[in-house]
Amino acid sequence: MASRSELSAFLESVERRAFKQAVFAVRDEEAALDIVQDAMLRLAEKYGHRPAEELPLLFHRIVQNAIRDWFRIVQNAIRDWFRRQKVRSLWTTSLSSLAPGRGEDEDQDPLETLQAADGSNREEAPAEQLERAQVLEIIEQELARLPARQREAFVMRYWEELDVAETARVMGCSEGSVKTHCSRAAHALAAALRARGITL
């Protein structure tokens, strides 16, 4: 049984990568934070009694399921929104002419109220650091563009360093599928990076 300290150390070691993976998938940082929190709670509540060595596979599987759940919820919400919108559109079009104008708000400059990102006023980073940050950003963008299953397989294999069999168990597919997804992801990613002038 994983002790409290083992579980804590494990969660601390994976939470940031899990957050990034959720961001790649859902492209929304707040939703990604919710997904990671949900996965952590599920792991602790349902599998907290399992041995520490089983936690990585369980956690990755829970994260992938939480991401799928999130998409399902969003799809349902979008469907509901369109359904409601159909009803509302009749009222909004007829009442829109009565709504007041934006008035003084139009004179405001959005830049005056825009908050600077943390640390953005620091002195300029060295060119090397900047280039590394740009490469990282491009890789993250291109990873997010990969088809979901390809990205999952590639990230599990090469970022989480799971072997093919473990990745197959997390993804719920055959080892052959994992190899195919990984290979396609690697080729697509390499081609996309090359197209953007990046050589590793």
Residues that bind other proteins (CB under 8 A): 1, 3-4, 7-8, 11-12, 15-17, 19-20, 29, 33, 36-37, 40-41, 43-46, 48-49, 117-118, 132-133, 135-137, 139-140, 154, 157-159, 161, 182-183, 186, 189-190, 200
CB of 40 to other proteins, least distance (A): 4
Tell me if 149 sits within 8 A of 160, measured CB to CB.
no
* Residue 57 or 139 with smaller CB distance to other proteins: 139
* Residue 8 or 85 with smaller CB distance to other proteins: 8
Sign of the Cα torsion 149, 153, 154, 159 reads: positive
Tell me if 61 sits within 8 A of 21, measured CB to CB.
no
CB of 114 to other proteins, least distance (A): 16
* Residue 85 or 144 with smaller CB distance to other proteins: 144
CB of 171 to other proteins, least distance (A): 16
* Residue 70 or 154 with smaller CB distance to other proteins: 154
Going by the DSSP 8-state scheme, the letter that residue 53 receives in this structure is G
Radius of gyration of the chain (CA): 22
Distances in whole angstroms, Cα of residue 82 to Cα of each of 18, 76, 78, 96: 32, 10, 6, 19
CB of 135 to other proteins, least distance (A): 6
* Residue 57 or 190 with smaller CB distance to other proteins: 190
CB of 15 to other proteins, least distance (A): 5
* Residue 78 or 165 with smaller CB distance to other proteins: 165
Residue that has been written with the tokens 């957050």 in this structure: 19
CB of 153 to other proteins, least distance (A): 11
Residue that has been written with the tokens 């590793």 in this structure: 200
CA 35/CA 70 separation, integer angstroms: 8
Distances in whole angstroms, Cα of residue 169 to Cα of each of 54, 142, 180: 12, 25, 15
